Structure 1
Amino acid sequence: MSKPKLSDEEITQRGRELYENSIRLRVETPDNIGKIISINVETGEYEIGDDLLVTSLKMRTKQANAALWSERIGFNAVYAVGGTLFRIAE
């Protein structure tokens, strides 16, 4: 498997922009709050599920070397280690 051609910073920037500008309004629903979204930052395709590994693997079956960015829908982070997740969506 080859390494994505984008830097980590570019993946993060594109992922946030895609989420905020074209995906957020479609996916931030009561049923999806707290779920994980993995986004291919080059195509805009995404998968939503309960597990980061599962959503990432589903995206990798479509494109093995996809540059992926993930987020917990409606929260400030995917996981909290030694801290607390804060809900940012209603």
Structure 2
Amino acid sequence: MPVRQPRYSKEEFARRGDAIYESQVRSLVEVGNDGKIVAIDIETGAFELADDTMTATRQLYARLPDAQPWVVRIGHRAVHRFGARSLKPSS
């Protein structure tokens, strides 16, 4: 698998990814997909939904080999959790 080089700073990646998720993707994927992963190309807005990060990003790269993927876990503040405390917002 070729090494893909990021074209944006970490801050710009996050800004673009979050903006696309909130404005274009969230309403399409949120209902019924809590905990699933969505990989979003921060340049085109194309996205793939899967149960895990690797599957979602591989599916996105299959469609767009030059994608710049931003990954979101639906319904959670973070994709991965470190430590014992959950980051899921309490209801």
- TM-score (norm: length of structure 1): 0.86
Unpaired segments ≥5 residues, structure 2: none
Give structure 1 regions of 4+ aligned residues with deviation exceeding 2 angstroms.
Answer: 83-90
The residue type equivalent to 1:73 in the other structure is I
Deviation track 1:6-27 (CA, whole Å, cap 9, x = no partner) reads 2222111100001111211221
1:53-64 correspondence to structure 2 within 5 Å: 53-64=54-65
Give the total of aligned pairs.
Answer: 89
| Identity of matched residues, % | 34
SS at match of 1:66: coil
Distance 2:47 2:83 in 1: 29
1:32-68: CA deviation from partner (whole Å, max 9, x where unpaired) = 1110010001000101110100100111112223111
Higher relative contact order (CA 8 A, sep 6+): 1
Retained in 1: the 8 A contact 2:81–2:87? no
1:42 aligns with 2:43: yes
2:39 alignment partner AA: S
Q: 1:69 to 1:17 in 2, by over 3 A?
A: same
- Alpha-carbon separation, structure 2, partners of 1:68 and 1:21: 16
Aligned to 1:16, which of 15, 18, 28?
A: 18
Instruction: Please provide the CA RMSD for this pair.
Output: 1.8
